[in-house]
């Protein structure tokens, strides 16, 4: 993909449905009794992988563009699935969350995926499912996963690593187990889409917080029964972040993003930009299908050369600890923003980025350096030295959709054209990305 520099972004856009919420809506609907109609379902390849796997497991699914109708009977029925594999594609979400469901069914399945997915760690879900009574064979903790389901035992499980996918896996298994299954984590440590969606479907879930210990407990009681329900998925905030960054960094920009998800476990990127002086307004806030939704307005202005960041902000912006966890999807993009900050940017506690679709720390550093930025790579993060005049360059998406989109934004700021090899990988999460970007770019 060739990207030319832009003067500004201007206009109004709507985005495809949130990927995380779409996965969960489909998987929970597959465990419900009756029909569920999901509108604005994500157009990503990842979510298509979830639907494909569910079809192989006997779930009735009608899928047309962003409309999905799922009719289920409370449990999966897959008499032939043990002789074939379920292809999760590039989707770690599909594999980790579906594993929890399969663990509670009395048949064997093989979960596999593409080359990237087969390198990703799965021991974090294997361990709790093993405690519940499932038998899972793997390649030293990596896919493919051979799951032999069983009647599961309820457990109380404290998350050893902050992961919404692991939490969801255990809770889904708990819906099929005998008794009360609990997952304990630090308050605010992970996204809460699963809890919200289970509540929306009327599943037996209880969420409590202990301020003294700063822990949150999510508990389900199984075997659970609940009924299908209609769901409207909000626009994907993680997709919106790329447009928000472009409007922030290009002076004179005026951008409106309508009907986007505003779940507080997802919007740390907004708060980080606001702390830097970016003008962001939220309108039409509401709760839709148990998720916060609204319209985001961003105005760019020329306060620091090519950015609207306060010129008085001269020390490095440091992101670490819980803030890093809350920004995990946006960190490569934030590194691009960091190249326009007078004091630069330091990212710590982000080692998890090395186990995504690619090593996102290495990929981010490699591409920033190609564009002329001074960047240091650390074991658990990176440091951008300060404001840089980016230049057009030959960039590599490294097979990672978020790297491709982050550096598409960087290319808009650069002097001269950039070429992004492997940019087709954006289809994993946002097939319409380049079309939507060009619809609001002015050159």
**Distance, CA of 290 to CA of 195 (rounded, Å):** 10
369 within 8 A of 377, measured Cβ to Cβ: no
**Distance, CA of 13 to CA of 298 (rounded, Å):** 12
CA distances to 9, 172, 249, 308, 328 from 413, rounded to whole Å, are: 11, 44, 8, 13, 23
**Distance, CA of 160 to CA of 138 (rounded, Å):** 20
**Distance, CA of 253 to CA of 274 (rounded, Å):** 16
- 359's CB contacts (< 8 A; 6+ apart) are 353, 398
Measured at the CA of 322, the angle between CA 380 and CA 390, to 5 degrees, comes to 55
**Distance, CA of 224 to CA of 222 (rounded, Å):** 4
Burial of 246-260, coded b for 16+ CB within 10 Å and e otherwise, reads bbbbbbebebbbbbb
| Residues 400/406/407/408 CA torsion (nearest 10 deg) | 100
The CA radius of gyration of the chain, in Å to the nearest whole number, is 22
**Distance, CA of 63 to CA of 61 (rounded, Å):** 6
**Pairing state of beta strands 179-186 and 205-210?**
unpaired
52 class by beta-carbon count within 10 Å (0-12 exposed, 13-18 middle, 19+ buried): middle
The token pair that represents 133 in the structure block: 């009574």
The token pair that represents 189 in the structure block: 């440590």
**Distance, CA of 173 to CA of 204 (rounded, Å):** 13
Q: Check if 329 is active-site.
A: yes
Which of 87, 192, 236, 329 is an active site residue?
Answer: 329
In degrees rounded to 5, what are phi and psi of residue 119?
A: -100, 0
Tell me what percent of the chain is helix, strand and coil, each rounded to the nearest 5: 35, 30, 35
Query: What is 105-173 written as a DSSP string?
Result: SSSEEEEE--TTGGGS--HHHHHHHHHHT-EEEEETTEEEEEEE---PBP-EEE-SS--HHHHHHHHHH
Active site residues: 329
């Amino acid at each position: 993909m060739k990207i030319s520099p832009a003067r500004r972004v201007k206009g109004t856009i709507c985005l495809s449905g949130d990927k995380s919420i779409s996965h969960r809506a489909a998987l929970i609907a597959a465990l419900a009794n009756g029909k569920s109609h999901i509108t604005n379902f994500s157009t990503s390849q990842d979510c298509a992988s979830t639907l494909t796997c569910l079809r192989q497991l006997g779930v009735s699914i009608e899928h047309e563009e962003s409309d999905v109708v799922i009719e289920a009977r409370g449990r999966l029925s897959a008499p032939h699935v043990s002789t074939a594999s379920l292809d999760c594609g590039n989707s770690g979400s599909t594999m980790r969350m579906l594993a929890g469901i399969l663990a509670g069914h009395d048949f064997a399945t093989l979960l596999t995926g593409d080359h990237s997915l087969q390198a990703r760690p799965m021991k974090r879900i294997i361990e709790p499912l093993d405690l519940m009574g499932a038998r899972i064979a793997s390649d030293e903790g990596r896919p493919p996963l051979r799951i032999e389901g069983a009647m599961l035992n309820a457990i109380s499980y404290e998350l050893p690593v902050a992961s919404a996918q692991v939490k969801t896996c255990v809770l889904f298994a708990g819906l099929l187990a005998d008794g009360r299954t609990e997952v304990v984590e630090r308050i605010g440590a992970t996204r809460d889409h699963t809890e919200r969606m289970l509540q929306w479907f009327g599943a037996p879930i209880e969420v409590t917080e202990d301020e003294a210990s700063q822990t949150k407990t999510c508990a389900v009681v199984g075997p659970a029964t609940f009924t299908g329900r209609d769901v409207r998925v909000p626009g994907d905030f993680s997709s919106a972040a790329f447009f928000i960054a472009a409007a922030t960094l290009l002076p004179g920009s005026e951008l409106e993003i309508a009907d986007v998800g505003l779940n507080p476990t997802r919007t740390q990127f907004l708060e980080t930009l606001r702390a830097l002086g970016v003008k962001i307004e939220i309108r039409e806030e509401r709760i839709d299908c148990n998720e916060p939704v609204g319209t985001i307005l961003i105005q760019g202005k020329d306060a620091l050369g090519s950015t609207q960041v306060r010129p008085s902000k001269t020390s490095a912006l440091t992101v670490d600890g819980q803030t890093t966890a809350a920004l995990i999807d946006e960190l490569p993009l934030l590194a691009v923003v960091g190249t326009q900050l007078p004091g630069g940017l330091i990212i710590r506690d982000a080692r998890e980025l090395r186990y995504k679709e690619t090593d996102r720390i290495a990929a981010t550093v490699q591409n920033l350096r190609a564009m002329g930025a001074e960047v240091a790579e650390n074991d658990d993060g990176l440091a951008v030295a300060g404001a840089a005049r980016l230049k057009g360059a030959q960039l590599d998406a490294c097979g990672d959709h978020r790297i491709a989109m982050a550096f598409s934004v960087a290319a808009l700021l650069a002097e001269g054209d950039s070429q992004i090899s492997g940019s087709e990988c954006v289809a994993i999460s946002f097939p319409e990305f380049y079309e939507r970007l060009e619809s609001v770019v002015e050159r």
